[in-house]
Structure formats: C-alpha cells, structure tokens
Structure 1
Amino acid sequence: NVHILGTPIQSIIETEDRKIFADRVNEIGERVAPSEAVYSVVEALKAAERLGYPVMARAAFSLGGLGSGFADNEAELELLANQALAHSSQLIIDKSLKGWKEVEYEVVRDAFDNCITVCNMENLDPLGIHTGESIVVAPSQTLSNREYNMLRTTALKVIRHFGVVGECNIQYALNPHSEEFYIIEVNARLSRSSALASKATGYPLAYVAAKLSLGIALPAIKNSVTGVTTACFEPSLDYCVVKIPRWDLTKFVRVSKNIGSSMKSVGEVMAIGRNFEEAFQKALRMVDGSVNGFDPYQQKVVKEELTEPTDKRPFVLAAALKAGYSVDELHALTNIDKWFLWKMQEIIYFYDVLEQSGGTLSAEQLLQAKKMGFADKQIAFVTKSTELAVRKQRQELGITPYVKQIDTVAGEWPASTNYLYMTYNASEHDLDFPGGFTIVVGSGVYRIGSSVEFDWCAVGCLRELRRLGKPTIMINYNPETVSTDYDMCDRLYFEEISFEVVMDI
C-alpha cells in the first residue's frame, strides 16, 4: 500500500517491456522499428528470419545497452542471444537501422499535463553506436525546421500517452534521406543524457523533476537561473555544446577496441563554444590532456577503423581528411552527416594554412585559429614554436577570450547565473571581474582510478571556502559531477583544465 510519487510504475513497465512498449506506441499512430519480442534462442532465430538480416538484439530491462549487438547471420545471432538472455528473460530482435541519424529529446511533464521539451540532441555517430558511446551535439545541427518540429510534436504526444510525470528521454532513428522515423526507446527517468541536457541548457532537470513528482505544476516552479521566468519554458541556446565519451580501453590487454551498441565508456566531457569547431576541439582536449585538438597526426589512416569505429575514430577521421579523402568518401564509409564532415575539413584546411605560414602568424590568422578552437599549444605544435611564445604573441596583439553566461534564454532576460564559458567568437564580456576570488580546479573527466571521490574533495573545498566567507571559482568540464552544479560556487567556468585556460581565468 505504498503510494508512489511521480511517474506511475505502470508507465515504467510499459516503457521497459519492449513488447508492451511497441503496442502502446502503435496506439497513437507512431511507430517503433520493426521488431519482435522473444524469450528463447530458438524464437530469436525464427524472428530474425521473418525480419530479415542484419538484425539488432537488445535485452529488455537493461542499462547501458548490456547484452546488445548486431548480427548478420544465424551463427552471430545465436551467440548474441545466448549472452543477452543471461542478463534478461526478454530479448528484442530489431530490424537493423544502422546508418540512420540518432536524435534524442528531453521532455518534462507535470501532473496537470503541462509539457515542454528541454533540449534536443543529435548524435554525430549514426545509429548502431550507443548514445553513451557517441559524440553528441546539442542543439541538433543538421535537422531541418520541419524535422525538428515533427520529432518535438511526437515527443510531447508520447510522454502524454504514457502518463509520465517528471522527466523523460525519448530517442529516435531518423532516415537521413527522407522524413521517415522510428521511436527507438523512451526512458521514463533521469538518464546520463539528462545530466548532459541539464548542464548543456542550464535547466535544472533533476530539481524540477523532484518538484513535479510532488504534484507541483510547472508554471509554479521558478527558473532558478534567471530568477524571473518559470520552469514552464523551453530553453534557447545561443551556443553549441559537444559531448565526447572517455574510454579507458588501453588499460586492458584483451579487450576489443571497437565501439558499438553496448556501452564501454567510463566518463564523458562537455565543451561549450560559439560554433561547432570551437566546442569540438575543446572537447577532444578535455578527454585526454595529451591531445592538442582535432589532430591529424595522432593516428594512421586505417579504412577498417572508419567503417568499424574504435575509441580513436575522430583522429582517424582527421588523418583521413589530411590524407586527401573527400567528404563524400568519408560519408560513404562512416555514415556521419556531411555537415559535420565539412566542419572537420575546415579545421584540417586551417592546419594547412598554419603549416604554410612558416611560423610567422598574422593577427588575423591567430584570431581565426582561436575562433576555430585551436589551443595555444596546438598552434605552437603546427608552427614549430612554443606554447609560451604563442601566448605572449596573442596577448601582445590583444587576442584574449570573452567570458559568456549560460542563461537558458539566449539573452532575452537578464540572468543572475554565474554559469560561464569562454569563447573567442564574441565582442564583450557578460560580467565584471572584481577580483578576490579563490579558484578551485576540478578533477576533470572520470576515468578508471579517478572518479567521484575526487569531485567530493573539490566540493568539500568549495563548501569550506564558502563557510569562511571567501568568493569561489570552480573550473571543471564534467557534466556528471556535483562540482559543475552552478549553485556550488560563486562562479562556475565550464572549461578545459589546461595551463592556457586556467591562466586566462
């Protein structure tokens, strides 16, 4: 006789049990990918025959794509089904949609049927790679207005139909050549994508979801970022966010380096910039401090690694572009949208410009490099100089970054938040710098052997400084941490932790 707050248990069963889920979605005229729910290996093989290979197998009631994978023939499926049924009693066999675009929306609904979408995100990697393994861009960059609104309308329709109260995440497969789409899954809970959406937009999803489950209406909850608007608004972003996962596969000897439908990443980073190139290069440096950015000299071109992606795929792409592969060729090999590939090619073109400059850069070239997300050490590496020399030249020319606020309303209302990022694609600061702050440097991306315990230390330090009445600055870029909650400190810089950035701040 326990009363459950928020989303009814029935809704959770309906979204997690693949068979019931498909039936419920069909009731409102929407479609899930052609699939069948099975309970044994024999049934799985029969279902695959009816659907036609290649197929994807997924276990029900599992997290992180556990026990899932693709099968091109009976032998592969038999192996997969045996593994997956060890995790779960129900297995879903899907027709493979490999190569389609994967898009997700975060949706919020209250008990009075007020409903908004908080954030839409697009996976740079096509379908077939788990969202937790993909590079994700928010807001989506390659959808047309029509596609964006078509998926948004469907998201609201679905969340209402399932009766979700609180927060929910919906994932789509979108055909890149038509407007055909399928609903992949609905998570009627806060997932890792929700943490990302929350940090990317500044909309406090967990806080709002907790209030909603108590039966409070969306318009009655204040937007804690602006302090004036309510929680019943859709955030607008005047910047671009890129999330890249971090793998620690090199620590294991016999582990396959390939990434796919089940999750192997141990952490993730989030970078904010005013354009895709800036955010993308920042994020690549955040994942691994020894990387300069979208570096064509990190990896060799291996064609197999373009079709069968590994944890080093971005650098294989960089090397391929540098070796003269065209955008069309790479699109055919990887199924990554051409828009992203063109943007990557712009970065590689600029590498050529820097290399041909012979070590003497003009102010225009240096500014252009900074606008495209090149770090001082990256420019130094290409122009055979040193990071300090580049830094000195940059400061003499007056090329310094601007500090911008994340205000959830793209500047429409004055914001009271101190949730900040730095960019060269701007003309003024969003706030003043009175000085007298104490900087606490965060612990960065989660990896094996360095995880939440170090974030706890950083937060403990912030709390103690606050108790002593000292204003604090936090520098960190991990969306899964408490230290990157904007109310933990006086100023939060969502930035890379490197000599250049920390010294700039």
Structure 2
Amino acid sequence: MPKRNDIQKILVIGAGPIIIGQACEFDYSGTQACKVLKSEGYTVVLVNSNPATIMTDPETAHRTYVEPVTAETVAAILAKERPDALLPTLGGQTGLNTTVELNRMGVLDAYNVELIGADLDVIRKAEDRGLFHQAMARIGLEMARSSIATDMEEARAAAADIGFPVIIRPAFTLGGTGGGVAYNPEELETIAASGLEASIIGQIQVEASILGWKEFELEVMRDKKDNVVIVCSIENLDPMGVHTGDSITVAPVQTLTDRQYQRMRDAAMAVMREIGVETGGSNVQFAVNPRDGRMLVVEMNPRVSRSSALASKATGFPIAKIAALLAVGYTLDEIPNDITGRTMAAFEPALDYCVVKIPRFAFEKFP
C-alpha cells in the first residue's frame, strides 16, 4: 500500500524529561521518526517537555512545542494546530497514557484527530493487565497465575490466595514504576499502594513469583498485510526479578534450542495478531523455566521501548523509522532496507555476531 495522502499534518508526542520510568532511549526513536515523516512530505508538529534532546532541535520537526507532556497541554496544541493524525507510540508510556486521557476527555473526537501507529483498542488490550490476560487465554498462551486488583482489599486477598512472594505489576506504567516483589504482607502494603497510585486506571496485577526464570524479549513488527518480522531476539543475563531495562542483555538469544526459539517466535506473532498491532513495532517478553523449558508470556508493549533502541543498534534495522512509515500506510515489503540497499524491510535481520548491553547506573546523580 502506498503512503496515505488523506493526512497532511501529524502531531508526534515526545517522551518528556529523562527521569527513571519515563524517557529512556525514546529521543533516539522519536528523532528517527520525525525526520522520516518530514521526508515523506508530512507536516510534523512535536510536543516534548525536554529541551535537551535532539528531537527538539529546530530541524527535526516543522513546529516544536517545549511544553509539559500532559493531556491538558496536548489538548491545547491540538486545538491550535488541528493535525489530521496523532502518533503516540514514540513517546513511550507517557505518549500512550496521554493519548488514553485525551480520548477520555473527548478531545480526539472533538477535533477529529485520528490515531496512527496504535489505536485505543490496541493500547487498552496491551496495557490493561486484565484484558491482556484474557487475550492470551483466547490464543492458548500461558501466563503466570495472577489476579487483578483495583484496591488494597483485593490486593491482600489475591496475595493470600496465590501465596508469597508475589510480583506487583501496575497497568499503564513504564520501567517497573510502582511495581516490585512483595515477600510478606508488610511489603505488599507498601508496593501495592505504590502500584495503585502509579497506574492511571488504578489497577495492579498480583502475580505468582517466577523469580529465577530466564527472561527473553522479541522485537516484532507487523503491517496491514499481516507481514510479521522478528527484528531481534534478546536474552537477559539476569533472571526474572531484575527489570529488563536494568539487566545485562545479549542479542541474539544464547540458551534456547531452535525448537524453543521457533515456539517463542510463533507465540510472539500470535500475540501481535490477537492484540491487533498492525502498523508498527512491539516488544513481547517471555519467561522460561530453566528446569523444564515451560514458557510463559510476561507482557507486551505496543510501542517503541528501551529494547527497541538496543535492537536497532544491534541489527541496523531502524525500528522507529520503519514504525513511522508503517503508521502512514506503507507495508514492510515496500520499505527498503537501509543496510543492504537491495532487500526490503520484510526480510528479517540475521546476526552472525553478538551484542551485549551493560547498564550504567549513574550513582553520582542518584546516590
């Protein structure tokens, strides 16, 4: 499919300031996307609250608003600029949460703004822990035993039923914000309260512990023709219990058999189709029991993530750029591969080398 000509102006939401649980490597992705949308002839309007980014340089977008990334601010910009479309998937969790709030306020309908990259149903099904659990059950994929809680009473009951330790996962958050592992009722009180406060819908998932299991991620892209490519497979050196963003990671995966890897690939593609991502990339996370090989789906992010930046660097496959092109109507078999110059983006990258990411903790900034 050729690019869409029924939209001319696109508003891109940036990730905001570089703080724990918010911006991460999204500047890298957002800059890629803004530049490619400009080169395709679209008018690009950017909102980002962090002036110390490449994304907010004057040449990146046609118009840049260095304003707080909140629903109220973005609503005012929508009223002034009247864009045809909104691209929320490059602003990380901030972009998705702001978009959900804009829809709740009725702003998107009022100004007739179309969501591209991921629609509201996709965002809800992926980010709402309860809906995601139901979706995985429909396609026969196993997740860790869990219960959804919207208040402390439900959280206590869920933990008592499942048994300690339990993992607390808030909905609609990034970087493990508000979540953690509770080993006893006292820790549950603190972590569950923090998670309920951090989630924009006041929801947490109380999950049976799978601490010590191996953790894997697949970066997946899908287009409107149902072409699906696994851009990169990533294995966490640290087991489940260490957040993937804080873990030493290796690409491609090292300790799976080919049969296990193919099973994981098939599962990731099934997740993409069930959730409905059809114009962009997602990050799907799995846990594997090192004793018996049992595989569980952990979660998926219907947006550019920290792992997307790593996968792009590791493979040379510009995930954010291609996600932006998919959002405006192209399909993977129409987008040239920048590395080879001869093949299309529908060809999966093959690595004959290893890439290792080692996190650097800035203790001088966060003593």
Do the two structures share a fold, i.e. TM-score over 0.5? yes
Query: Counterpart in 2 of 1:67?
Result: 178
Say whether 1:245 aligns with 2:245.
Answer: no
Determine if the alignment matches structure 1 residue 171 to structure 2 residue 285: yes
How far does residue 194 in structure 1 lie from its aligned partner after superposition?
0.2
Q: How does 1:348-427 map to 2 (within 5 A)?
A: none
1:37 to 140, 148, 171: 148
- Of residues 220, 231, 235 in structure 2, which corresponds to 1:118? 231
Q: Is residue 160 of structure 1 aligned with residue 256 of structure 2?
A: no
Partner of 2:121 in structure 1? 10
Once the two structures are superposed, the pairs formed by residues 292-307 of structure 1 within 5 Å of their partners are: none
Structure 1: distance between partners of 2:366 and 2:137: 44
**For residues 252 and 153 of structure 1, do their structure 2 counterparts lie closer, same or farther at Cα, with a shift above 3 Å needed?**
closer
Is the CA contact 1:123–1:134 (under 8 Å) kept in the aligned structure 2? Answer: yes
Provide the residue aligned with 1:193 in structure 2. 307
CA distance in 2 between partners of 1:81 and 1:241 (Å) = 36
Q: Report Cα offsets for 1:416-475 as digits up to 9, x if no partner.
A: xxxxxxxxxxxxxxxxxxxxxxxxxxxxxxxxxxxxxxxxxxxxxxxxxxxxxxxxxxxx
Residues 252 and 206 (structure 1), Cα distance of their counterparts in 2 relative to 1, 3 Å cut: closer
Q: 1:149 corresponds to which residue? A: 262
Partner residue, 1:105: 218
Matches within 5 A, 1:170-319: 170-253=284-367
- CA distance in structure 2 between the aligned counterparts of 1:67 and 1:252, rounded to whole angstroms: 18
Whether the 8 Å contact between 1:57 and 1:69 is mirrored in structure 2 is yes
Secondary structure of 1:15's partner? Answer: helix
> Structure 2 counterpart of 1:24, which letter?
A
Report the secondary structure of 2:239's partner residue. Answer: coil
Tell me which of 186, 202, 206 is aligned to 1:93. 206
Deviations 1:285-332 (A, max 9, x none): xxxxxxxxxxxxxxxxxxxxxxxxxxxxxxxxxxxxxxxxxxxxxxxx
> What is the number of residues matched between the two proteins?
253
> How much does 1:250 deviate?
4.8
Report the alpha carbon displacement of residue 11 of structure 1 after superposing the two structures with TM.
0.6
The answer to whether the Cα contact below 8 Å between 1:57 and 1:81 also exists between their aligned partners in 2 is yes
- Alignment TM-score, normalising by the size of structure 2: 0.67
Q: 1:6·1:215 contact (CA, 8 Å) conserved in 2? A: no
Q: Retained in 2: the 8 A contact 1:109–1:115?
A: yes
Matches of 1:27 and 1:40, distance apart in 2: 27
| 1:374-396 residue CA offsets vs partner (Å, 9 max, x unmatched) | xxxxxxxxxxxxxxxxxxxxxxx
2:193 to 57, 65, 82: 82
Amino acid at match of 1:58: R
Q: Is the 8 A contact 1:107 1:117 kept in 2?
A: yes
Answering whether residue 156 of structure 2 is matched by residue 58 of structure 1, we say no
Deviation of 1:6 after TM superposition, in Å, equals: 2.5
Give the letter aligned to residue 84 of structure 1. G
CA gap of 1:217–1:252, structure 2 versus 1, over 3 A, is closer
The superposition leaves residues 118-168 of structure 1 with CA deviations (integer Å, 9 ceiling, x where unpaired) of: 100000000000001100000011111111111011001110111102101
- Listed as ranges, the gaps of 5+ residues in structure 1 are 254-505
Matched residue SS, 2:124: helix
- Once the two structures are superposed, residues 192-251 of structure 1 have per-residue CA deviations (whole angstroms, 9 ceiling, x without a partner) of 100100110001111111111112111111101111011001111111100011102255
Counterpart code for 1:42 = E
| Distance in 1, Cα, partners of 2:235 & 2:156 | 33
CA distance in 2, matches of 1:250, 1:6: 38
CA RMSD in angstroms, aligned pairs only: 1.1
Could you tell me how far apart the structure 2 residues matched to 1:162 and 1:252 are? 37
Task: Work out which structure has the larger RCO, using CA pairs closer than 8 Å and 6 or more positions apart in sequence.
Answer: 2
2: CA distance, partners of 1:74 / 1:199: 42
Displacement over 3 Å in runs of 4+ = 250-253
> Which residue of the partner structure matches residue 395 of structure 1?
none
Find the residue that maps to 2:357 and give its secondary structure: strand
Q: Which moved more, 1:187-196 or 1:69-78?
A: 69-78
Distance 2:206 2:258 in 1: 32
Secondary structure at the aligned position of 2:308 is classed as helix
- Look up the SS of the partner of 2:359 in the other structure: strand
Give the counterpart letter for 1:11 in structure 2. V
Cα shift readout 1:350-378 (whole Å, capped 9, x = no counterpart)? xxxxxxxxxxxxxxxxxxxxxxxxxxxxx
Distance in 2 (CA, whole Å) between partners of 1:217 and 1:100 is: 36
Residue 24, structure 1, aligned to residue 135, structure 2 = yes
Q: CA deviation at 1:58?
A: 1.6
Q: Which amino acid aligns with 1:39?
A: T
Report the secondary structure of 2:130's partner residue: helix
Equivalent position of 1:301 in the other structure: none
Q: Match of 1:84, SS? A: helix
Report deviation, 1:181. Answer: 1.1
> CA offsets, 1:246-277, max 9 Å, x none?
10225555xxxxxxxxxxxxxxxxxxxxxxxx
Uncovered stretches (5+) of structure 2, i.e. residues with no partner: 1-111
Structure of larger gyration radius? 1
TM-score of the pair, normalised by structure 1: 0.49
What is the SS of the residue equivalent to 1:67?
coil
